[in-house]
Amino acid sequence: MTIYIDADACPVKDIIISEGTAKKLPITLVTSISHFSTVEQPKGVETIYVDNSAEAADYRIMRLINKNDLLVTQDYGLASLVLAKGAIVIHHNGYRYTTDNIDQLLQDRYLSAMVRKSGKRTKGPKPFTEENRSTFRQLLNDILSSY
């Protein structure tokens, strides 16, 4: 299993790196070049930089990811594509994308976009909390311990 991180706006990279390297799993962060960093990552952690186009990270992840790999993303569209490849996909808030819930998540995203397109406002995401971090860590550990 390789762990992939859709890393541009991922608030739990530190947890993933800590838990993944402890299990000696390879980790790949995919991020846009605008987030370039000279910070050295631990052994087993690779950073792949892509250009700043809207879907560049998604396309790279789709090329790299395989069945039974793990992806952490908040992008429902990317999650649906990766699920179709047989990978495991989780959100940084600590829930797992599945074939049972992805259609509803995509539908909700579409309806919100239509509301915004009509000139109305929708609520943004709730602030990321310590409870979210804890829930994410537990889910990640449950998945990693099963492999």
CA separation, residue 107 to residues 61, 80, 116, 129 (Å) = 23, 12, 14, 26
Please tell me the CATH code under which domain 3-98+129-145 is placed: 3.40.50
> Residue type at 125?
P
pLDDT tens digit string along 19-72?
A: 999 999 999 999 999 999 998 999 999 999 999 998 999 999 999 999 999 999
pLDDT tens digit string along 94-134?
A: 999 999 988 888 888 778 788 888 888 877 778 999 999 99
Domain residue spans of the chain: 3-98+129-145
DSSP letter (8 states) at residue 126: P
Element (H, E) at 111: helix 102-117
Give the C-alpha separation, 90 to 76, whole Å: 10
